[in-house]
C-alpha cells in the first residue's frame, strides 16, 4: 500500500531528506493504519534548515511585533476551523482519545491568541538615568535561530508553546518533531503558513533524536535550544548546549503526587485520581503517578479507585465511548511491563492491571491495562521513578506532615495536588510542596497556557514555558542609553 510521503520544510520548500531515508508513522491503536512516511533526516538536513532560518531572520526580526502577532492570531482562527480534522489525525498518530486531542489542538489555539496579544506588549522598562540629559531603557531583542525538540505526548500543544512565543519575539525556528508524532507538527506549521508566515521562518526537520536532534543542538548557528522530553536525553542536550554557552530550556519528567487527606471530598478526589493517573494513558509529564492517602481513608479510597480503573473502557481513541487509548509504541509497553515487574519484586501489591492487553480488539495496538499498585512504600523504585504509562502507586501516610515529606522525597518536582477542605493545610501545601505546579482540590494535570509551566529539581533547569516566562527565554535584554547632553558624561564618575 502506498502512503502519503512527507518531506522536510526548509526555506518554505518541501524538501526530501538528503539521507534518502524515511520511516512510517503508524497508529498505535491499529498497526494497519499508516499516516504517512516521514523523512529520517541527518546533520546535512539540519545544516540546510539552520541556513534557511538564519537567512529568514534577517527580515523577520524587522517585522513589527504586532504584525508578527497578527499571523499568530490568524493561525489561531485557522486551527479553530481545522480543530476536528487535526484532532482526529492526532488520535491516529498518537493514540489519546478524541476529547483529549481536541484539547491538545485547543491548547495551541489558546497559545496562539495569548501570544498574539503579547505582540502589543513585549514591554521593557524606561528608567531614570543617573546623569542629566540622558535617557535609559531596556528592550527585548530576539535571540536568532532557535532549535526546538519536541516529545510525542502533546504533539501540537508543546510545539505551539515553543513556536508561538519564539515567533512573536522575532526569532526564526528549526523544529524537530518527535518521531512518533511528526504529522501534528506539520499540521501546526501548515496553519502558520496559511496564515501568512514567510518562508524560512519555521523549518521542519523530521527524524530520530541522535540523527536529527543532536546535530541541531550542537549546530553553531543555533542560538538557543528548547527541549521537552526525558531527563536522560535532557541531560545530554543540556551538556552539549552548555559547552557552547547556548541558552537551553529543558522540560523533563515528573513523579507527581496527589495527597488525599481524611477531610477531603473523596468522590472529587477519586475523579481527579482517575483523570490524573489514566488520562493520556498516564503518558503526561504531569500524570498522577503517586497517590498519598491518609490512613483513615486509604482502604475506602483504594477500593473505589480499583473499581473505577477496572471500569475504564480501553480501546481506539477514535471511538467516542473509549476512555483510555493505547500507549504510543511498543517501547512504552515494555517500560510499563518492566516497572510492574520491579514493583512486584519490591513487594508492592498489584491490585488491578499489570499486563498488556493483547487479545481480540487489542491485537493490532499497544494497549496496557489501567494498573494500580497498593502497599507501595515511598522509597521503592515504583514510588520514585517515572513510568510514563497507566500505572499508579498508592502510598499510605499517618498525617499531613508525613504526606508532605513523601511528596517531596523524590528527585523530580513538576506537579503536585492536595485534596483537603482545610484552608490552612491548602496554604501549607502551596508553600511547602517542592514543585513548579501545585493544585488544590484538582488533579496534577490541567495547566493553562498563560501560567508558567515547568518544574524544579530533575524536572527542569529553571526556565518556564507558557506565561511570560516563555518571553524571557525567547528574548534577550538589551539596555539602551541615549545621551542628549552633547558632552561626555561618565557614569559613576562625573555625578559622584
Cell, residue 367:
494497549
Nearer of residues 76 and 229 to ligand ADP, judged by Cβ: 229
Catalytic residue, candidates 285, 340, 397, 465 = 285
The 121-160 site mask, x for binding ligand ADP (CB under 6 A), equals ----------------------------xxx---------
Q: Is 397 a catalytic residue?
A: no
Residue 179 interacts with ligand ADP (CB under 6 A): yes or no: yes
CB of 358 vs ligand ADP, minimal distance in Å: 23
Using CB under 6 A, which residues numbered 198 to 217 contact ligand ADP?
A: 208-210, 213-214, 217
Nearer of residues 188 and 273 to ligand ADP, judged by Cβ: 188
Nearer of residues 128 and 220 to ligand ADP, judged by Cβ: 220
Q: How many residues bind ligand ADP (CB under 6 A)?
A: 17
Nearer of residues 114 and 453 to ligand ADP, judged by Cβ: 453
Catalytic residue, candidates 89, 93, 100, 251 = 251
Using CB under 6 A, which residues numbered 219 to 238 contact ligand ADP?
A: 229-230, 233, 236-237
Q: Is 405 a catalytic residue?
A: no
CB of 7 vs ligand ADP, minimal distance in Å: 18
CB of 82 vs ligand ADP, minimal distance in Å: 24
CB of 386 vs ligand ADP, minimal distance in Å: 9
CB of 382 vs ligand ADP, minimal distance in Å: 18
Which residue in the shown chain puts its C-beta closest to ligand ADP? 209
What are the catalytic residues?
251, 285
Chain residues binding ligand ADP by CB under 6 A are: 149-151, 176, 178-179, 208-210, 213-214, 217, 229-230, 233, 236-237
Amino acid at each position: 500500500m502506498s502512503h502519503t510521503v512527507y518531506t522536510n520544510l526548509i526555506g518554505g520548500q518541501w524538501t526530501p531528506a538528503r539521507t534518502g531515508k524515511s520511516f512510517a508513522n503508524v497508529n498505535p491503536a491499529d498497526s494497519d493504519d499508516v499516516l504517512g512516511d516521514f523523512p529520517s533526516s541527518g546533520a546535512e538536513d539540519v545544516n540546510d534548515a539552520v541556513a534557511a532560518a538564519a537567512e529568514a531572520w534577517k527580515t523577520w526580526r524587522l517585522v513589527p511585533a504586532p504584525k508578527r502577532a497578527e499571523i499568530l492570531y490568524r493561525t489561531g482562527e485557522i486551527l479553530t476551523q481545522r480543530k476536528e480534522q487535526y484532532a482526529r489525525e492526532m488520535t491516529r498518530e498518537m493514540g489519546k482519545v478524541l476529547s483529549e486531542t481536541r484539547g491538545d489542538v485547543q491548547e495551541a489555539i489558546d497559545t496562539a491568541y495569548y501570544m498574539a496579544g503579547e505582540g502589543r506588549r513585549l514591554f521593557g522598562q524606561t528608567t531614570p538615568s543617573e546623569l542629566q540629559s540622558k535617557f535609559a531603557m531596556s528592550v527585548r531583542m530576539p535571540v536568532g535561530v532557535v532549535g526546538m525538540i519536541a516529545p510525542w505526548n502533546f504533539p501540537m500543544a508543546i510545539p505551539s508553546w515553543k513556536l508561538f512565543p519564539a515567533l512573536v519575539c522575532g526569532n526564526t525556528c528549526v523544529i524537530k518533531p518527535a518521531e512518533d508524532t511528526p504529522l501534528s507538527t506539520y499540521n501546526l506549521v501548515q496553519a502558520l503558513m496559511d496564515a501568512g508566515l514567510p518562508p524560512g521562518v519555521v523549518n521542519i526537520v523530521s527524524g530520530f533524536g541522535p540523527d536529527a536532534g543532536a546535530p541541531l543542538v550542537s549546530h553553531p548557528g543555533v542560538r538557543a535550544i528548547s527541549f521537552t522530553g526525558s531527563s536522560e536525553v535532557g541531560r545530554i542536550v543540556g551538556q552539549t548546549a552548555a559547552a557552547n554557552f547556548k541558552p537551553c530550556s529543558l522540560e523533563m519528567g515528573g513523579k507527581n503526587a496527589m495527597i488525599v487527606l481524611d477531610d477531603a471530598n473523596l468522590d472529587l478526589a477519586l475523579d481527579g485520581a482517575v483523570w490524573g493517573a489514566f488520562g493520556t494513558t498516564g503518558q503526561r509529564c504531569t500524570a498522577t503517578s503517586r497517590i498519598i492517602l491518609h490512613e483513615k481513608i486509604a482502604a475506602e479510597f483504594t477500593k473505589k479507585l480499583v473499581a473505577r480503573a477496572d471500569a475504564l473502557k480501553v480501546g481506539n481513541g477514535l471511538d467516542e465511548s473509549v476512555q483510555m487509548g493505547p500507549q504510543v509504541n511498543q517501547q512504552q509497553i515494555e517500560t510499563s511491563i518492566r516497572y510492574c515487574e520491579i514493583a512486584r519484586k519490591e513487594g508492592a501489591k498489584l491490585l488491578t492491571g499489570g499486563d498488556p492487553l493483547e487479545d481480540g480488539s487489542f491485537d493490532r495496538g499497544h494497549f496496557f491495562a489501567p494498573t494500580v499498585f497498593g502497599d507501595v512504600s515511598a522509597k521503592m523504585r515504583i514510588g520514585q521513578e517515572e513510568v510514563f504509562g497507566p500505572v499508579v502507586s498508592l502510598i499510605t501516610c499517618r498525617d499531613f506532615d508525613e504526606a508532605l515529606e513523601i511528596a517531596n522525597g523524590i528527585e523530580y518536582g513538576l506537579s503536585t495536588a492536595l485534596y483537603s477542605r482545610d484552608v490552612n493545610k491548602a496554604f501549607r501545601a502551596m508553600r511547602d510542596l517542592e514543585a513548579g505546579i501545585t493544585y488544590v482540590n484538582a488533579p496534577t494535570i490541567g495547566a493553562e497556557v498563560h501560567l508558567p509551566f515547568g518544574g524544579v529539581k530533575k524536572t527542569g533547569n529553571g526556565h518556564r514555558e507558557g506565561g511570560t516566562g516563555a518571553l524571557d527565554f525567547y528574548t534577550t535584554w538589551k539596555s539602551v542609553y541615549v545621551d542628549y547632553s552633547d558632552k561626555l558624561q561618565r557614569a559613576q564618575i562625573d555625578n559622584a
